[in-house]
Chain A
Amino acid sequence: MPAKLYYLKGDKMSDIKVLLVDDEQSFVETLALRLGIRDLKSETVFSGEEAISYIRENEPDVMVLDMKMPGMNGIDVLKWVTDSCPNLQTIILTGYSSNKDEQEARRLGVFDFLAKPPEIEILVDRIWGAYRKRQKMINNKNSTS
């Protein structure tokens, strides 16, 4: 998998608002620190329910979402996002998933589907890709309205 597919020289990481959703607190907090070292600011929440209340208040550009969580799982959150915030781009980051999970997630329009633990540079790159897609969607909407 190529590491630099979306990132372009001169891109400013600090422009992107990222939300990390995972019930493994230590994992997601460490991931946030690693993204921070790369000037990519992110917020962390630890459940699907928390993710939805966070998004309602402050919609991020990109959400990195775990699939298997107690309570609302990744697919439940994704369904809500598809209905409520169609411009929000989601990257699934999961320890285990079946083909069916992946197909369902892709049907719901996820930007990418990555295995946990991720290669940090690949994750950063996919976040960029997701951000660009969001910007394009917003611009298209603005130009047609």
Chain B
Amino acid sequence: MNEKKETARPAFIAKIIASFTHELKNHLAIIRESAGLMSDMIEYKGGGSEEDKKKYLDILKSIHKQTERSSGFITYLNRFSHRMDRIRDSYDINEALEDITVLMSRLANHRQLILENNFRDNLPSVYGNAAVVQFICYCIIEQKMFSLASGGSILVCAEEAGDKMNIKIISNGTIKEGSEESDFCLSETIDLFLKSISGEITKNDSKNETTLTIPLAISEAD
């Protein structure tokens, strides 16, 4: 696969999303600071009845809370899009997995599933293409979500294994009848992506565990 050509399109989308989210974050910051200023004026300068003041402060707290929520999501979206900026870079695996699980949490909620992370401290940085790792994780998670009945959960975690990193995606819960995990995502396309990051996928059906193994550092010759 010609990596440069293959990454040109996602990089373009990423740059648009990144600049858009940056802009949105600025808008939210202005809304939040304006609400903060109004709170300050009510709290510090007084005016109005105590009952009115309480009402205004409650409204402002609600604005503050919502902008905080949006701002949090935008941070993940922005970081996610920046992953596609470079073909290879050193990155924090926990952050890369956190981005994908947070951004997929809505999809999981819609299916009444829980998507969770269990991050270990002090994992070494990985050098490679984080966006491709995220894409493969997305495919595995999507596959597991497709086959799990509501009430199930999917756990994503990473652990160091010598000069490699194992990313484990483990499902828990009832498998929907007739929807055993299909291999639609682990097709030729995934194989190509796996090759590009020198990765490997192994499955342990008894534990409902799929492991993506990637080298800690991909060599420039790969």
Contact = CB atoms under 8 A, between A and B. Distances in A.
Given A37-B40, A95-B25, A117-B67, A30 B75 contact: no
Interface stretch (B4-12, B29-37, B134-142, B190-198): B29-37
B22 interface: yes
Interface in B13-60: 18, 21-22, 25-26, 28-30, 32-34, 36-37, 40-41, 44
A27 B28 CA distance: 10
Nearest to A66: B26
A99 B92 contact: yes
A85 interface: no
A24 interface: yes
Residue of B26, B40, B82, B92 most packed against chain A (CB within 10 A): B26
A34 B71 CA distance: 20
A33 B29 CA distance: 14
A115 B78 CA distance: 13
Contacts of B95: 99
A27 B67 CA distance: 14
5 contacts: A95-B29, A96-B78, A96-B82, A117-B28, A117-B71
Contacts of A117: 28-29, 32-33, 67, 71
Interface string B150-180: 0000000000000000000000000000000
A31 interface: yes
B37 A30 contact: yes
Residue of B21, B36, B82 most packed against chain A (CB within 10 A): B36
Given A27-B30, A31-B33, A117-B32, A95 B82 contact: no
A37 B41 contact: yes
B26 A24 contact: yes
A126 to B, nearest CB: 16
B173 to A, nearest CB: 35
A3 interface: no
B33 A27 contact: yes
A98 interface: yes
Given A27-B33, A33-B37, A68 B22 contact: yes
Given A34-B37, A37-B40, A96 B22 contact: yes
Contacts of B26: 24, 27, 95, 116
Contact of B25 (A26, A34, A96, A99): A96
Contacts of A27: 26, 29-30, 33
Nearest to B91: A99
A31 B31 CA distance: 11
Nearest to B43: A37
Given A30-B30, A116-B26, 7 more contacts: A27-B26, A27-B33, A34-B40, A95-B26, A96-B78, A96-B79, A117-B71
A115 B44 CA distance: 25
B22 to A, nearest CB: 5
A92 to B, nearest CB: 14
Contacts of B67: 117
A98 B82 contact: yes
B219 to A, nearest CB: 21
B92 A34 contact: no
Closest 4 CB pairs of A and B: A117-B29, A95-B25, A30-B33, A117-B32
Contacts of A37: 37, 40-41, 44
